[in-house]
């Protein structure tokens, strides 16, 4: 996903050069269109920007997310009716240029905003910027709702609104990092260590995969000093723990199918089928604890893909997800 702010309309040629590079690598591209207050006050300027993007980049991307975190006034929109005007303009232009719309890009646990928008706008994919960082780990509850419950509620709200069932995309999530000062987008509790961020990333994705409710999840972003998979401070970019955790998660679970979970009140154990082999992804909140699998364990890999020695099917499970392969 690449963001194009409306206030960078004069730099679309630079974006085009980058998009050509992305396409040459056979990477699927989604474009997000960012708004500010001027776009609300000058709707013709917003329409001109959207038309310029659709007409120029429809050959690079089929999907365009309209608007961004508009339920936060810092992004220039003060109520849902103002967002509707921006989205309606984009919907007309999407039909003209035959591109697909993603939205409404609501941020955080504010699902009441979906029905009034989805009743008016038809999106090809419904998107959410579903952050859970302010309550800490993905398993932590907010008003009684943990991550899996939020996903179920969100999908129910979406499918019960407007035009029926829709595919759900999470188009932004991250945990900001301690010690990054002005580069962190949040202050206080949301900030975590790099190791915690890597653990939470995998756990968040596993919850989404296992839910069967989410088609895509975009981590925002690849390179950023305060929260990215890469730390861009210094002359040489540094790959963080979250980079290796993401890389290994993809490596271990690519072309696998979620088949169930082992019920337990202490451990999170998710089972996947990969070709002819079964693999479990497991972790535990709090202090480490031993768990004995009923199946013969073949090998155990750490969150980052390192071999972990084990015997007699006994695994020490902790906060960091592990991949357990069975014979």
pLDDT tens digits for range 99-119 = 999 999 999 999 999 999 999
Measuring CA to CA, which residue among 217, 283, 233 is closest to residue 1? 217
pLDDT at 220: 94
Q: What is the pTM of this model?
A: 0.96
Percent of the residues in the chain that have a pLDDT greater than 70, as a whole number: 100
pLDDT tens digits for range 201-236 = 999 999 999 999 999 999 999 999 999 999 999 999
- Tell me: pLDDT of 91 over 80: yes
> 284 with 153, same domain?
no
> 37 with 98, same domain?
yes
pLDDT tens digits for range 51-83 = 999 999 999 998 999 999 999 999 999 999 999
Burial grade of 188 (CB within 10 A; 0-12, 13-18, 19 or more): exposed
Instruction: Note down the domain range covering 50.
Output: 2-255
pLDDT at 188: 83
> 249 with 178, same domain?
yes
Find all residues with CB under 8 Å of 27, minimum gap 6, and list them: none
Q: How far apart are CA 241 and CA 193, in angstroms?
A: 10
pLDDT, average across residues 282-303: 96
> 193 with 80, same domain?
yes
pLDDT at 286: 94
pLDDT, average across residues 296-324: 96
Give the mean pLDDT of the chain. 96
> 157 with 285, same domain?
no
pLDDT at 311: 87
User: How many domains does the chain fold into?
Assistant: 2
pLDDT tens digits for range 16-34 = 999 999 999 999 999 999 9
pLDDT at 187: 84
Measuring CA to CA, which residue among 42, 54, 37 is closest to residue 92? 54
- Tell me: pLDDT of 156 over 80: yes
> 84 with 199, same domain?
yes
> 17 with 81, same domain?
yes
> 97 with 60, same domain?
yes
Domain final position from 229, 255, 281: 255
Q: In CATH, what number is assigned to the domain containing residue 30? A: 3.20.20.80
């Amino acid at each position: 996903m690449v963001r194009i702010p409306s206030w960078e309309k004069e730099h679309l040629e630079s974006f085009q050069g980058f998009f050509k590079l992305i396409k040459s690598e056979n990477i699927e591209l989604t474009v997000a269109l960012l708004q500010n207050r001027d776009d609300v006050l000058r709707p013709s300027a917003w329409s001109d920007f959207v038309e310029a993007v659709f007409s120029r980049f429809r050959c690079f991307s089929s999907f365009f997310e309209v608007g961004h975190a508009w339920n936060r006034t810092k992004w220039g929109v003060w109520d849902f009716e103002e967002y509707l005007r921006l989205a309606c303009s984009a919907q007309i232009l999407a039909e003209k240029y035959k591109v697909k719309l993603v939205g409404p890009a609501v941020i955080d646990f504010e699902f009441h905003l979906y029905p009034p928008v989805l009743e008016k706008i038809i999106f090809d994919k419904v998107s959410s910027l579903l952050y859970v960082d302010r309550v800490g780990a993905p398993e932590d509850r907010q008003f009684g709702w943990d991550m899996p419950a939020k996903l179920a509620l969100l999908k129910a709200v979406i499918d019960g609104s407007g035009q029926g069932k829709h595919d759900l995309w999470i188009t932004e999530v991250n945990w900001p990092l301690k010690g990054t000062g002005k580069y962190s987008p949040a202050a206080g509790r949301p900030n975590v260590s790099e190791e915690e961020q890597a653990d939470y990333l995998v756990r968040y994705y596993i919850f989404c995969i296992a839910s069967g409710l989410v088609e895509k999840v975009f981590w925002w972003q690849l390179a950023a000093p305060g929260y990215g998979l890469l730390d861009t401070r210094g002359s040489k970019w540094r790959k963080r723990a979250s980079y290796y955790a993401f890389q290994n998660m993809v490596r271990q679970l690519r072309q696998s199918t979620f088949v169930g979970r082992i019920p337990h009140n202490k451990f999170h154990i998710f089972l996947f089928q990969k070709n002819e082999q079964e693999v479990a992804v497991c972790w535990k909140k709090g202090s480490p604890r031993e768990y004995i699998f009923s199946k013969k364990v073949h090998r155990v890999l750490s969150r980052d893909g390192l071999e972990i020695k084990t015997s007699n099917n006994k695994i020490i499970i902790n906060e960091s997800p592990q991949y357990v392969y069975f014979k």
